[in-house]
Chain A
Amino acid sequence: MIPKKVLLAPIDPVHDVGIKMIRRGVEEAGHQTVLLQPDLTPEEIIREILKHSVDVVLLSRSLGYGVAEILARFVDLADAVGIRQSVRLGIGGMAIRPELAAELGFDAGFGPGTTIEEALAFVEGREYVPQSVRQKKEKKDIVKGYTYKYRNETIAGLLSRITDNILSWASDKTSPGVLRAQVREELWDVDRWRNYEKMTEFLEEYPKLCGDLPRNFYEKGIMHPKTRRFVREEVVALESYIRATRERMEVPRLQHTLLKPLVFNQYGTGCPFQDTGHIKVSEAWGADGVIHFDPSWGARTEGFLDGFLTHQEDGTVITPANLNRIRNSLEPGTLWQVRAHRGLNTPETVVLAGKFKADLTKINICYGALGAGTDPARLTVDAVAAIRYAAKYGMHFDVVTNEELSGVPAYRAFAGMLITVDLALRLGGRPILQPLFCFSPEVMLEGYMRDNYVDFNVAKIAALRRIIDAPIWPGAPIGFLTHTEDRVQSSTSTAYHASLAAMLGVDAITVASSDEAYSGGPISVPAKVDTLRAVAEGFRFFGGSRIEPSGQAGVWSGEIEAGIERVLKQVVDRGEFVDAIYDGILGSREEGVYPGRNGRDTVMKK
């Protein structure tokens, strides 16, 4: 490298910080520099160029007004004195756009965000090759390091008795959902399916266990009215899109200096193609994991369809081909969760997710039975089977508490969550606590967030940590019911909640898009970018620092813990866990939830 003589001049009344930083980089690379002061005229700068006989000139301009005129004047003067052939001219700064620089005749124009390395490459007359920022993201094990030891022995004892009851009650029962999961597990092989081999035994048994919609599909070829199959040309185009995107793909980290929380967002536009587009954007803007969101009718339908299907409404249909294609589109480090928690296909969803190597699933008896419409007895039988499959496939699962959104107080929802957690531990599963960070009806009525969104959320985490050493993944999404249609407000709210989650040291969060509160159409991909950018900025702003909750957080966490214990005692006193759900002990009609009716009377003796 031949050292150059470089003149740097702010062609600007005031601003010269950027060019000073460029100067430092240029000098460190072994070049000689001359730095001029701000507020010189083009004539004065030209005189200095001639005086110092420089090889390269770097100008900077931050102020936008009059920029074209002053730069045009500079170039005219440079032409007039004949330095254009011997001196390379570059211009950069906040007011500069590369197209303007080129139009005016500069050799290079550097817009906002230019790095020192780019300017240095120009000085040295070489092509700028961006340093690879491609990061290898490794999948993280959310449950690693947790002992699942109870710290509240009273609660541990109550949960143990409830688990005994659930297992005893369910031991002689089954359901169409459990039987379908068995058929899927035993008669459906993913490798044979990928080879287009017909699985006759499976196709004979499976439709018999399905409701009308899937049975008509298998026996008569009738599609769901809102679905259609993709065609080969579309699939080839999708594969090409994924391949090309992967080649350009970078996977940044959002967490700045922190190791956690992992950041998840949901997809579920209805269309696996659109989902794939959204997933690749989410990954490119730093999401660590994505969550499959299925249509609400899927939870009320006995059985799954088959084929590579798009759906014209919210939620992407679970079929082997849809899961397979989405799975194959993911970056290697992206965690993938397939929700199984709430409907009539809970155990089979876990089996399919396991066969397609999902990392995570989602199961909660109480939420599914109270907030999502599935009969409590049916979901209890199905959940026991689902948890066993999750343990078999090594899939950890969160236990969500979304019944809080329907009006169930946090302590009661947490009691339900801990019941599923304890059951899971007994069956060899690794559950993840999922309290909500939300502006729930309870919070509105009681005024818990009249002053701030911090204290009550802190109280929830503190209460759970006093009960058990287990991973925590607030959701879903964080800031639920705080968002408005304003993308700035929505993204900011998510970012603050994410920052609070980071300060509390939780393991993962699920974030919304800035379209969270907009219900007029599908979520758009720019809305996902808005939120991910805001979350990254929140992590950057707070880093490893902490904010101090008020003393009220401690008071509320004690009340939540006491409330959980009280509810669990009531469940034990009731005798049967399933009856406790029907009776409203884990969420009542007065609070706004009702025992679900989907799948009622479908529980059978084995």
Chain B
Amino acid sequence: MSRILDRVMDAMDVETFLVCSSEDEGRRLMLQFLKDIGFSDVDIVFIQFQGPGVRVRARAYIHRPGDTYGWLKADSAEGEDVK
């Protein structure tokens, strides 16, 4: 699993429709879901509630700018002047 996540260029979005009674509930459930499956850097990008529930897109950042990117397979100390 983690090796595949290395290939995510930056973020992974999870989109679905959750049956719930309010936007707050949908937001809470979706964030909880992402945390339950092991993501920590999570946010709701888009959520819209209507009577039946929420259309929601949540995001887990795998590589933020400035990180060491798994898709480049690099890991070392810093310091050299490279042009």
Chain A contacts to B: CB under 8 angstroms? 193-194, 196, 228-238, 240-241, 269-271, 273-274, 277-278, 281, 307-308, 310-312, 320-321, 324, 484-487, 515, 518, 520-522, 524-526
Contacts and interface: CB of A to CB of B under 8 A. Distances in A.
Interface of B: 9-11, 13, 43-46, 48, 57, 59, 61, 63-69, 71-83
Contacts of B78: 228-231
B66 A311 contact: yes
Nearest to A315: B65
A196 B46 contact: no
A201 B72 CA distance: 37
Contacts of B69: 273-274, 277
A320 B83 contact: yes
Given A274-B69, A277-B10, A524-B13, A518 B45 contact: yes
A269 B45 contact: no
Contact of B66 (A235, A270, A307, A321): A270
Given A274-B63, A520-B43, A237 B74 contact: yes
B5 to A, nearest CB: 14
B46 to A, nearest CB: 4
A103 to B, nearest CB: 22
Given A308-B82, A521-B59, A522-B10, A233 B46 contact: no
A229 B65 contact: no
Given A310-B65, A521-B11, A237 B72 contact: yes
Contacts of A233: 74-76
Given A233-B75, A271-B65, A273-B72, A526 B80 contact: no
A490 B72 CA distance: 30
A485 B46 contact: yes
6 contacts: A228-B78, A233-B74, A240-B72, A271-B66, A274-B63, A281-B9
A196 B75 CA distance: 25
Given A230-B78, A310-B66, 19 more contacts: A229-B82, A231-B80, A233-B76, A235-B82, A269-B10, A270-B66, A271-B66, A277-B9, A278-B9, A307-B82, A308-B82, A312-B66, A320-B83, A487-B46, A518-B45, A520-B59, A521-B64, A524-B9, A524-B59
Nearest to B46: A485
A231 B82 contact: yes
B82 A237 contact: no
Contact of A520 (B45, B71, B73): B45
Contacts of A236: 74
A234 B72 contact: yes
A409 B78 CA distance: 49
A230 B11 CA distance: 22
Most buried by A among B10, B13, B57, B78: B10
A230 B9 contact: no
Nearest to A272: B65
A243 to B, nearest CB: 12
Contacts of A281: 9
A271 B64 CA distance: 9
A525 B13 CA distance: 11
A194 B45 contact: no
A236 B83 CA distance: 12
Given A241-B72, A270-B66, A520-B43, A525 B9 contact: yes
A522 B67 CA distance: 13
A324 B83 CA distance: 7
A311 B64 CA distance: 11
A22 to B, nearest CB: 33
Contact of B79 (A231, A274, A521): A231
